[in-house]
């Protein structure tokens, strides 16, 4: 395992952050020995299809390897299936569940998120599903039988993607959301209403402002009562209650954590030999430390961590963005979340499309849209370049956004 003289870079975690960190480390230091340790016994795969095409039967998890069709080997990265259980920071080694040790000169942690488990719905309870990895996606897929009654707890992005997949398959689908509206954390009221209407048109019942009071499981199904007095019966339940950062390994090793592994703008943790990236990490945003849970951030953050593990001193400055797919809606957001309320401008688009901007200091600070991919690609550049914009022109769909770049 050890090769004296060669720089050894070890990456823990086979999600996009870990995969891109490993690939980028090898690219930046071709002479280094780069090893990716993943606790899943397969080539690293993309998670976004798990709530979409994998559930509707259009794709299998292995159809989307993160590293491309020839996997990590094509990038000259060693992939090993190993669950890392401890870090020996003095000896510069990671220790796995089977007692194997991997020595490192630089270590990158990319352990991602773990599902937020609700006490009423313990993982492993019969008929109850959480969705984070391919095993859980396969189990859920086989339970999504047309005609069954599905109750989804949580009207966030994952819950609604599962709802769209299940409704498409012909399940009787209900979403229970505790907040007064779906996607309250993600989008403005009008855009949320547009998405909600689309779900209702596909037969999905959305019950918002509902707090679950009582759950009873029996042989034939699950009964749920809410505090407002409503009752629901289901054959299966999917819990989409968000995620939390997977910090256990870093915290046990004495690294600084605070709702995430804390890193600086170079992805360095409180130990200079250890970097961290992706969903599990809190990093310096424009105003304060921030944690993001989306694919693009994981990829870009991983790339910076990988280069810096190989000796660079790059600063992470990607603009955050996310997407979601529900039915024929391609939902996207770009820009930093607001620390304070911002002026909002809505552009009048036709054909069920939507585009809304939030402004700060005369420029666009963030935006979100539905089926407005081309516009949002331009908006990304307007935000990155801090181009001064005129609110009236933004609202007017006859004024091309492209022209504002000049
Ligand atoms: C069902 C689903 C759908 C999604 N859809 C979208 C979408 O449409 N758009 C979007 O922007 N984002 C989406 N996301 C979010 C996106 O996939 C995540 O933000 C991204 O995967 C985070 O990447 P990561 O590498 O930081 O962590 P993860 O992808 O969580 O990967 C971490 C990996 O590390 C492994 N690991 C953890 N601890 C150890 C250890 N000690 N030893 C070895 N291995 C370990 C884990 O098993 C896991 O494979 C979705 C997520 C899910 C679950």
Q: What is the pLDDT of residue 353?
A: 93
Residue 142 lies in a domain: yes
Q: Which of these three, 216, 239, 262, is where a domain ends?
A: 239
Kindly give the distance from the C-alpha atom of residue 397 to the centroid of ligand 1, in angstroms, as a whole number.
37
Number of domains observed in the structure of the chain: 3
Residue 322 lies in a domain: no
The average pLDDT across 206-228 equals: 95
Looking from the CA of residue 280, the nearest atom of ligand 1 is: 26
Instruction: Characterise 374 by phi-psi region: left (phi > 0), alpha (psi -120 to 50), beta (else).
Output: alpha
Whether the predicted pLDDT of 259 surpasses 70: yes
Q: What is the pLDDT of residue 4?
A: 58
How far apart are alpha carbons 305 and 101 in whole angstroms? Answer: 22
Is 210 a pocket residue for ligand 1 (Cβ < 6 Å)?
no
- Strands lying side by side in the sheet with 281-284: 261-262, 281-284, 289-290
Query: Are 176 and 140 contained in the same domain?
Result: yes
Q: Parallel, antiparallel, or unpaired for β 363-370 and 354-360?
A: antiparallel
- Strands lying side by side in the sheet with 93-96: 84-88, 93-96, 101-103
pTM for the model stands at 0.96
Whether the predicted pLDDT of 385 surpasses 90: yes
Whether the predicted pLDDT of 64 surpasses 70: yes
Looking from the CA of residue 323, the nearest atom of ligand 1 is: 9
The average pLDDT across 341-361 equals: 91
Is 156 a pocket residue for ligand 1 (Cβ < 6 Å)?
no
Looking from the CA of residue 13, the nearest atom of ligand 1 is: 34
Is 278 a pocket residue for ligand 1 (Cβ < 6 Å)?
yes
How far apart are alpha carbons 317 and 14 in whole angstroms? Answer: 23
- Dump pLDDT digits (tens) for 158-195: 999 999 999 999 999 999 999 999 998 888 999 999 99
Q: What is the pLDDT of residue 337?
A: 81
The domain spanning residue 147 has which CATH number? 3.50.50.60
- Dump pLDDT digits (tens) for 265-310: 999 999 999 999 999 999 999 989 999 999 999 999 999 999 999 9
How far apart are alpha carbons 320 and 168 in whole angstroms? Answer: 30
Residue 2 lies in a domain: no
Q: What is the pLDDT of residue 386?
A: 95
Whether the predicted pLDDT of 63 surpasses 90: yes
Whether the predicted pLDDT of 118 surpasses 50: yes
């Amino acid at each position: 395992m050890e090769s004296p003289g060669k720089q050894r870079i070890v990456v823990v975690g086979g999600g996009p952050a870990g995969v891109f960190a490993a690939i980028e480390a090898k690219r930046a230091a071709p002479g280094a020995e780069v090893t990716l340790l993943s606790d899943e016994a397969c080539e690293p795969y993309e998670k976004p299809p798990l709530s979409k095409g994998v559930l509707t039967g259009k794709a299998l998890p292995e159809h989307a390897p993160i590293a491309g069709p020839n996997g990590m080997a094509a990038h000259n990265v060693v992939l090993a299936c190993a669950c890392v259980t401890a870090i020996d920071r003095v000896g510069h080694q990671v220790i796995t569940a089977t007692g194997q040790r991997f020595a490192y000169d630089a270590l990158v942690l990319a352990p991602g998120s773990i599902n937020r488990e609700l006490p009423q719905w313990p993982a492993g309870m019969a008929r109850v599903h959480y969705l984070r990895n391919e095993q859980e996606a396969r189990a859920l897929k086989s339970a999504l039988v047309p005609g069954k009654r599905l109750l989804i707890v949580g009207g966030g992005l994952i819950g609604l993607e599962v709802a769209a997949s299940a409704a498409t398959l012909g399940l009787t689908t209900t979403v229970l959301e505790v907040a007064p509206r779906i996607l309250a954390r993600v989008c403005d009221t009008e855009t949320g209403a547009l998405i909600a209407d689309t779900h209702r048109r596909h037969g999905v019942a959305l019950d918002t402002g509902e707090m679950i009071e009582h759950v009873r499981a029996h042989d034939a199904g699950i009964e749920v009562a809410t505090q407002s007095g409503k009752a629901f019966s289901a054959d299966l339940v999917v819990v989409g209650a968000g995620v939390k950062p997977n910090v256990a390994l870093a915290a046990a090793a004495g690294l600084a954590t605070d709702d995430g592994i804390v890193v600086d703008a170079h992805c360095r943790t409180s130990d200079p030999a250890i970097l961290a990236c992706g969903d599990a990490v809190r990093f310096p945003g424009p105003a304060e430390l921030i944690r993001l849970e989306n694919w693009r951030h994981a990829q870009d953050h991983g790339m910076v961590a990988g280069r810096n593990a190989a000796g660079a001193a790059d600063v992470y400055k990607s603009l955050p963005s996310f997407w979601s797919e529900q039915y024929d809606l391609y939902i996207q957001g770009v820009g930093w979340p607001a620390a304070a309320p911002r002026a909002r401008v809505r552009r009048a688009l036709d054909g069920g499309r939507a585009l809304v901007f939030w402004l700060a200091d005369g420029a666009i600070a963030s935006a979100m849209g539905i089926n407005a991919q081309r516009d949002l690609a331009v908006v990304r550049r307007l935000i990155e370049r801090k181009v001064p914009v005129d609110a009236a022109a933004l609202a007017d769909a006859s004024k091309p956004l492209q022209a504002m770049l000049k």
